[in-house]
Structure 1
Amino acid sequence: MIRKLTSFSTRHRWLTVVVWTVLGAALSFVGNSMMYDVTDSRAGDFLPKKYDSAVALRIAEEDFGTEPDPNALTVLVARDDGAKLTPADQRRIAGTAADLGRERVVAPKPEPLMKDHSQTPRVSPGAVAPDKSFRLLTVSLDGNPNDPGLQDVYKEFRDHAKDAFADADLRVGFTGGIASTVDNADAEESTGKVVSILTMGLIVLLNVLVFRSPAAAFVPLIAVALIGGVASGAVVGAAKLFDIGLDPSTPSLIGVVLLGIGIDYFLFLMFRFREQLRNHPEQNARAAAAETTGRVGRAITSAALTIVAAFATLGLASFGQFRVLGPAIAIAVLVMLLASLTLMPALLALLGRGMFWPARAWKKERTGGIAARLGHAVSSRPLRCALGSLVLLGALGAGAVGIKMSYDQQGLHETAASRTAEQISRSLPAGVSDPHSVYVRSTDGTAIEPSSLTGMTRSLAKAEGVGEVGKPVLSKDRTAARVDLFLSVESDTQQARDLVSGPVRETAARTAPKGTDAYVTGTAAVFADIATAVEKDLRLVFPVAALLIAVILFLLLRSLLAPVVLMIAVGLGFVATLGASTLLFQHGLDRPGVSFTLPLVLFLFVVALGTDYNILITDRIREEMEKPVPARTAVAEAVRHTAPAIATAGIVLAGSFASLAASPATQEIGFATGLGILLSSLVLSLVLVPALAAVLGRGLWWPRRSGRTPGHHHTPDGPPPAPEQQHHHYPYAAAPAHFDHQGRI
């Protein structure tokens, strides 16, 4: 199947390139235009319906006709001179606010297929500071706060509001909701551009250094950008078709994954293509490209399916952000796999030897170098290398002892929104800009009397962590009630989640009127429930993903022992990466813990992506062991041939993920995945796994018998020749027609 697909794409190389180009342009346009229509920024929407805060959200929608508004922003209005607000000031604020609530904000003309976010904002009065130093207003806008179109509307409203209040000698500040989203995005804009340039520069520089060719440096980037457009459109189309809301972080994660694995797969093909041309100078480019992809295709397919299987298991998660992230990345990786077997070989067939122009040194096989010395060192002293790797991984993994999960937002930029929030918190309860609500619903449909709620509101006012409690509001049919409250601490902290999930919920449940049930919702309540859901998902997804990866490895390697060795290796890599991240963020930076999403995302990225490199080195070791040479010589040859490709690919993929560290929201994931990929490629794939293979010899493929070349006597396992002797001892051209996955420098 793989050979038929690659043969077709190389025979019809121009058609293949044109089809992918048209698809890339069309689906990229659709994806960019509709991405924000299928993303959902409300964390509560991703919770299973059975959780306390999710039930409260349904009551809010069904009985009160309201939904949580991620765009609701708090506007602080104060005098320019810092004096207390006078009655006249209060009237001017009320009048100006009413005017703002009647004026339609016109958005810039949207791009084709993009939504017009022009609208009239909803403006309502809020609390007044006890010292009369400011008054608050609440403003709501409809739309996705991550959508640039809605952000433009907010900026128009913000500027207009500043001018309107300035005419009355008043100043304004904005915080919460879309105000914080826009300010953080603006603060990260320049950093993001610099990081993107550096990431692209790293990829180009590495390819130039390795291949000494401009085409080898830029063609993969252009191809991956094209494929990324197709994948983006495919993910958006699937989300639209099945009415799925994606998490706002999904597009950026997909982009990083595709950039990393796309460049990796292209590197594997280019290394192998270059070797094919070197060993068969008489072969034309089309035949060489077909032969190359036909041989490497199985390993690339297995590697990609490992990622797909791992992320597909997220579909079993109860927490919606995980449940939609997994299939989205799986779809994107499948698109990249299809491109790896069609578009990439077609480009190689078109460019041929021009892919490596003007370099000429590649036409001669290089038998020495760092890769050869590494292969000789690992195979001649395998126990020492394996022990050294285990000590390193164990030392890093020890940092995971005492790990804690954190749901706080760490390292956010200091912005105008954060300064406004600080000013508010100095005069009012810290949670005033992010209120929580207790929803009470009758269990038998009888009406709720306002007087029956008095005991509950009094008890809530005395509960630990509650700063202020509002008056109860009844639904139209009086079968439900809402009691708003402000916490005395910031809503997005662990302390707030502990208070809401403990004293607040306990008090509401205990003092609710007879015949009713009480449910608490709000930022802290939602994330407290998310913590419970994530903990359950970790216990489910980890073993299922590990089992699927093990099955794929078994089908590829046709061995029971080899998959076990690889799974133990990647497991050690995962623990080491998690331990290093805990040491840095929890202990080194004195944070409450590591991000609650880190263990699961890290497990999937490091185990699934890291397994790619292990598949490539192990498959090459198997090929070398099928030849009539000692097992340790086979290991040395495998490392010599694959080390350049694996090291280059690992650095590229790690650099892609490390770019996420530039944003505070993804800082931990960026650092951890970058480190994990480096450990997987440089330590596990090039040292630990080959060392264990050298120790186990051909027994690594138990119970399968090693396929030695017919007609040759068994050569006992023994130490490999020194690097400078390898070419004469074991000329590659004389070996059977089995070629490596990546080639070599």
Structure 2
Amino acid sequence: MIRTLTGYATRNPWKVIALWAVLGIVLSALIPTLMSRVTQHRTADFLPRGYDSAAAQHLAEEKFGDDPDATALTVLVARADGGPLAAADREHIAAGARALSGRRVVMPVEDDMPRFLLPDRSQTPAVTPAATAPDRSFALLSVRLTGSPSDTGVQGVYRAFRDDARAHFAAAGLRTGFTGGLPELVDTTDDHEVATTVGGVLVTVLIILLNVLAFRSVLAAVLPLIAVALIGAVAAGAVAGAALLTGRRLDAGTPGLINVVLLGIGIDYLLFLLFRFREQLREKPAQPVREAAAQVSGRVGTAITSAALTIVAAFATLGLATFGQFRSMGPAIAVAVLVMLLGSLTLMPALLAAAGRAMFWPSRTLDRTPAAGRAARFGELVTRRPLLMLAASLALLAALAAGLTGIRMEYGRDASGSRTAAAATAAEISRVLPAGVSDPTSVYVTADDGGALAPARLDGLVRALAGVEGIGKTAPVVLSQDRGTARIDLHPTADPQSEKARDLVSGPLRDTVARHTPDGTRAHIGGTAAVFADIATAVDHDLRVVFPVAAALITLILLLLLRSLLAPVVLMLAVGLGFAATLGAAALLFQHVLGGTGVDFTLPLVLFLFVVALGTDYNILVADRIREEMRRPGGARAAVARALRHTTPAVATAGLVLAGSFATLAATPGSAQIAFAMTLGILLSALVLALVVVPALAALLGRALWWPLRPGPERGGRARRRTADRADGDDGSQGREEQKEWAAAPR
């Protein structure tokens, strides 16, 4: 199957290139619209109905008309001179709320973006008075917009509304502040706008620079980016199409994560092909380029396929998760990687066949075999002192893994804190009112028989809730239109996204509700803090399920690829050490050094899948080449040294490119931890595990690493010739030359 695809692509390169170009260009124009239809922003929507907060949210929508697509924010209005609000100020604020609530906000569109490609998010916001501070230092307005905060159109509407509100109240000598999920995201995005642009430019320059240094070529520097961009557009379209067909919703951050993954692995796979293609052209200068491209693509395509299927298997296991954000993200990335694999076996070989030797122009390295360089010296160092190199690497990994001591998960705001204008407004509110006044925790009570509820029936529960330590205010009971459900809004003193609020809900609050809910009724607790408490439970469950299943599937793929029982165990132990070291380093930096409350709750699972799955790519490439070299005459350590000489440039370059692409996530709001951890994890996987730990173990274990099928030069002309032919190409010429050398060598 692999050789069929690569063979067709190298025989018909221009047809394949044209097909991918058309698909990529068309889908890249449709992606904004497609992705907006399959993403959702409310975290609670990813929880199964069986969780308490999810059941509460369902009641809020069904009984109280909460819009599942609504985005709430709070506007603080105060006097510009810092004085208390007078009666005239309060009247102006109320009139301003009415005026803003009746004014349609038109979504701004950039001049270079056709309007028909973007859904129109223009709308009339709902603005209502919410509360006034006891000291009359400010008043709060509640605002509801429709749409996901991650939707750029909704963000544009919010910016227009914010500017309008500021101008309206400033005319009366009043200042405004905005807080909530949408203002926080927009402020962070605006603050990082320059960094995001610079980061994108830097990763592009990094990829081009590394390719120029590796190949001294124009096409080899530019084609990887073009190829990955085309395949990435098709992959994004496939992900959106699959989501539409299956009815699954994606987390708003998933498309951006997919882009980074595809950029990294796509460049990796093309680099693997380019390095091997150049090696083939040097060894066989008279071979037709399309034949060389076919041989190289078929040979490297096996390793690429195994590496890609490893990633697919790892992320497909997220389909077993109970938390919907994981359950939708896993298959989405798996679909995207499968498309990238298809592109790696078709478009990339077609580019090699079409460009031929011009791929490496103007470099003249094809005309000569380069002398042993740094890669050869590095291979000799690892194989000459494998025990020392292994011990040093393990000491480094163990030191980083020590950061796991006392690690905690953070489910709310980014552990590093926020310094945006929205965060400052939230802090100003919390100094006077309970922190949860703009984001209450709600208790929903329904009768078991579906009958009507009387507010007096809930007096005991209300009094008990008001007495819970950490509840700053209890609102009066509100009944649904059919009087069958009651809602009690609570305003915790802690930030609803904080660990303190989450502990309050999962502990004292739920205990109080369980003890004081009237007989014949049932109660559910909803709100941000309750959602994060349930997410913590769901994630803990998913980690216990996904980790072992993903590890088992990856091990099975390695068993099939390497046809060995010991080698897969060695590789999985290596990537396990890399995972522990990376997560430990993230905890050490963000929790212990920077003083954060913990690491992001998604980090262990995402990091495990990325570092294990993507890191295994490099291990597969190196291990596969070591096995290939061990089929040739000579000792095991010499085979490892030859393998490192050939694979070190490819693995090091690919690792730096992938790490650089992940580093650009640091410019994305709230992604600093993931950016750091995945950048470090890829660097450790490529530069330490794949190039030091695995080769050192191979040098120490020798051909026993491949037990029970140990590779080696077979005695007997025909069998030996088949082995050499498989190792060196279809014509077998180089294999027969090595047979002569082996036969003449002293024994």
Q: Same-fold call, TM > 0.5?
A: yes
**SS of the residue 1:438 aligns to:** strand
CA distance change for structure 1 residues 558 and 87 in 2, over 3 Å: closer, same or farther? same
Alpha-carbon distance between aligned partners in 2 of 1:686 and 1:73, rounded to the nearest angstrom:
51
SS, match of residue 141 in structure 1 = strand
In structure 2, what is the Cα distance between the partners aligned to 1:733 and 1:613?
30
Partner of 2:348: 344
Which of the residues 422, 434, 437 maps onto 2:439?
A: 434
Q: Which residue of 2 aligns with 1:303?
A: 307
Task: Name 2:337's counterpart in structure 1.
Answer: 333
Uncovered stretches (5+) of structure 2, i.e. residues with no partner: 721-733, 741-747
Query: Who is 2:427 aligned against?
Result: 422
Alignment match, 1:176:
180
Pair 1:733–1:173, CA change in 2 (3 A): farther
1:106 maps to what in 2? Answer: 106
* Map 1:569-648 → 2, pairs under 5 A: 569-648=574-653
Change (3 A) 1:144 1:664: closer
Deviations 1:139-192 (A, max 9, x none): 101111111111221222222222222333322221113222211111111111
Structure 1, 543-552 or 242-251: larger mean CA deviation: 242-251
1:346-392 per-residue CA deviation (whole Å, 9 max, x = no partner) reads 11111111111111134322241111112112222222222222222
Contact 2:185 2:669 in 1 (8 A): no
Contact kept, 8 Å, 2:100 with 2:165, in 1: the verdict is yes
How far did 1:622 drift?
A: 0.8
Q: Which amino acid aligns with 1:126?
A: A
Counterpart of 1:78 in 2: which secondary structure? strand
User: Where does residue 724 of structure 2 map in the other structure?
Assistant: none
**C-alpha separation between the residues in 2 aligned to 1:736 and 1:582?**
54
Task: Supply the distance in 2 between the matched residues of 1:520 and 1:291 (Cα, whole angstroms).
Answer: 62
Counterpart CA distance in 2 for 1:59 and 1:347 is: 56
Q: Does the aligned pair in 1 maintain the 2:389–2:696 contact within 8 Å? A: yes
Tell whether the 8 Å contact from 1:566 to 1:614 is kept in structure 2 after alignment: yes
C-alpha distance in structure 1 between counterparts of 2:603 and 2:735, whole Å: 44
Deviation for aligned residue 1:69: 6.1
Amino acid at match of 1:604: L
Is 1:393 the counterpart of 2:397? The answer is: yes
- Provide closer, same or farther for how the CA distance between residues 119 and 713 of structure 1 changes in structure 2, counting only shifts above 3 A: closer
Structure 1: unaligned runs, 5 residues or longer: 716-730, 738-745
Give me the whole-angstrom Cα distance separating, in 1, the residues matched to 2:738 and 2:448: 78
AA aligned to 1:644 is P
Instruction: Give the alignment of 1:521-600 within 5 angstroms.
Output: 521-600=526-605
SS in 1 for 2:66: coil
Q: Which residue is 1:209 aligned to?
A: 213
Q: Deviations over 1:466-487 (max 9, x none)?
A: 0111010111222210011111
Number of the residue aligned with 2:97 = 97
Q: Which amino acid aligns with 2:490?
A: L
Change in 2 beyond 3 A, CA 1:224/1:65: same
Task: Kindly report which structure 2 residues correspond to 1:78-227, keeping only aligned pairs within 5 A, or say none.
Answer: 78-108=78-108, 111-227=115-231
TM-score, with structure 2 as normaliser: 0.94
Question: Is residue 70–residue 177 contact of structure 1 (8 Å, CA) maintained in 2?
Answer: no
Residues 199-598 of structure 1: pairs in structure 2 closer than 5 A: 199-408=203-412, 409-598=414-603
In the TM superposition, residue 583 of structure 1 has moved relative to its aligned partner by 1.5
Q: Distance in 1 between matches of 2:146 and 2:161?
A: 13
Matched with 2:743 is none
SS in 2 for 1:71: strand
Show structure 1 runs of 4+ deviating over 4 A: 712-715
Which segment drifts farther, 472-481 or 362-371?
362-371
Aligned partner of 2:711 among 700, 706, 711:
706
Whether contact under 8 Å (2:179, 2:426) holds in the other structure is: yes
Q: Which residue does 2:76 correspond to in 1? A: 76
Q: Residue 9 of structure 1 corresponds to which residue in structure 2?
A: 9
Task: Please say if residues 279 and 733 of structure 1, whose CA atoms lie closer than 8 Å, have aligned partners that are also in contact.
Answer: no
The CA distance in 2 between the partners of 1:659 and 1:168, in whole Å, is 43
Q: For 2:70 and 2:420, how far apart are their aligned partners in 1?
A: 19
Cα 1:712–1:284 change in 2 (3 A) is closer
Q: 1:734 deviation in Å? A: 3.8
Q: C-alpha distance in 2, partners of 1:530/1:395?
A: 31
Structure 2 equivalent of residue 721 of structure 1:
none
Which whole-Å CA distance do the structure 2 matches of 1:467 and 1:421 have between them? 16
Distance in 2 separating the partners of 1:536 and 1:319:
9
User: For the Cα contact (< 8 Å) 1:290–1:345, is it kept in 2?
Assistant: yes
1:707: how far off? 4.7
State whether residues 565 and 706 of structure 2, in contact with CA within 8 Å, keep that contact through their aligned partners in structure 1.
yes
Post-superposition CA distance 1:278-297 (Å, at most 9, x none): 11111222222111101110
Measure how far apart 1:713 and its partner are.
13
2:29–2:117 Cα contact (<8 Å) kept? no
Q: Distance in 2 between matches of 1:438 and 1:710?
A: 78
1:572–1:594 distance in 2 versus 1, CA, 3 Å? same
Q: Judge conservation of contact 1:260–1:653 (CA < 8 Å) in 2.
A: yes
SS of 2:392's partner is helix
Task: Indicate conservation of the 8 Å contact 1:48/1:319, yes or no.
Answer: yes
Give, in angstroms, the shift of residue 134 of structure 1: 1.3
Q: Look up the equivalent residue of 1:55 and give its one-letter code.
A: A
Q: Secondary structure at 1:75's aligned position in 2?
A: strand
For the 8 Å contact 1:33–1:111, the answer to whether it is kept is no
The equivalent of 1:666 in structure 2 is 671
User: 2:633 is aligned with what amino acid?
Assistant: P
User: Which moved further from structure 2: 538-547 or 192-201?
Assistant: 192-201
Matches within 5 A, 1:10-25: 10-25=10-25
Deviation at 1:714, TM superposition (A): 13
TM superposition score normalised by structure 1: 0.94
Distance in 2 separating the partners of 1:597 and 1:170: 41
Deviations 1:575-596 (A, max 9, x none): 1111222211221112222111
RMSD: 1.9
Deviation at residue 606 of structure 1 after TM alignment:
0.4
> What is the percentage of aligned positions where both structures have the same residue?
61
Q: Is 2:315–2:334's contact at 8 Å kept on the other side of the alignment?
A: yes
Measure, in 2, the Cα distance between the counterparts of 1:180 and 1:384.
50
- Opposite residue 63 of structure 2, the aligned amino acid is D
Corresponding residue of 2:39: 39
In 2: Cα distance, 1:269 partner to 1:714 partner: 28
- Count of residue pairs the alignment pairs up: 722
Over residues 24-63 of structure 1, what are the superposed CA-to-partner deviations in whole Å (9 max), with x where a residue is unaligned?
A: 0111122122212211110000111111101101111122
Q: Which residue type is aligned with residue 269 of structure 1?
A: L
Deviation at 1:736, TM superposition (A): 7.2
CA contact (8 A) 1:179 1:417 kept: yes
Shift of 1:68: 5.5
> 3-state DSSP class of the match of 2:105?
coil
Between the aligned partners of 1:699 and 1:347, the Cα distance in structure 2 is 39
Following the alignment from structure 1 to structure 2, what is the Cα–Cα distance between the partners of residues 104 and 160? 11
Q: Deviations over 1:626-662 (max 9, x none)?
A: 1121111111111111111111111111111122233
Which deviates further from its counterpart, 131-140 or 147-156? 147-156
Q: What letter matches 1:157 in structure 2?
A: F
Q: Matches of 2:225 and 2:301 in 1, distance apart? A: 20
